Structure 1
Amino acid sequence: MATLAIVLKILWSLAALSIVVCVLLHSAKGDGVAAIGGQAQLFSSQKSAEKNLDRFTWGAVGLFLLLSGLLSSGLFKVPLS
């Protein structure tokens, strides 16, 4: 049971790290200066890479939340000794 807890904590840490990396890789959603001239609607199409990054980010968030619930439930405790 202790080995499973360690594996789950490693997966939990990797999910947290992947969330941070994915959020940093996302492009900015703000219109910025382009909103002043009305050019924001011209460049609003989303590429497939951005869609895949969105899917991976949400998958990592789901995994992180699932593992957070499992690890906080007390079922997978690591013995201190």
Structure 2
Amino acid sequence: MTIVTILKAIWSTSALGLIILVLLHSPKGDGIGGIGGQAQLFTSTRSAETNLNRITWILAVLFIGLTIILSANWLGQSVAVPVLPSTPPSPQ
């Protein structure tokens, strides 16, 4: 296993975790339900929301950082680029 393979696995895991954590966040507003007066107030613990926000930010920074590192090819992973011959082959 190369370092690039390990970083790609961490990158994929952080992307999946980020999606799950964003979906777990509670909505901040009433949305359309507030128009008809049917808004419900949900009580949640403040520390759980704070920890959820903190973990989401950590995963977001990790995801963006790994995206930049992997896309910029800073780890020296060689990319196979086909090289065209400079002169055309001679007819036989």
Kindly report the root-mean-square deviation, in angstroms, between the aligned alpha carbons of the 2 structures. 2.8
2:83 equivalent in structure 1: none
Instruction: Give runs of ≥4 in structure 1 deviating > 3 Å.
Output: 32-37, 42-46
2:9 equivalent in structure 1: 10
Letter of the aligned partner of 2:61 in structure 1?
G
**How far did 1:44 drift?**
8.7
Give the TM-score normalised by the residue count of structure 1. 0.74
Contact 1:12–1:67 (CA under 8 A) maintained in structure 2: yes
Aligned length: 77
Q: Which structure's residues are more often helix, by fraction?
A: 1
Give the TM-score normalised by the residue count of structure 2. 0.66
Which segments of 5 or more consecutive residues in structure 1 lack a partner in the other structure?
Answer: none
Percent of aligned positions that are identical: 43
CA separation of 1:29 and 1:5: change in aligned 2, threshold 3 A: same
**How far did 1:74 drift?**
1.2
Letter of the aligned partner of 1:61 in structure 2?
A
Which segments of 5 or more consecutive residues in structure 2 lack a partner in the other structure?
Answer: 81-92
Larger radius of gyration: 2
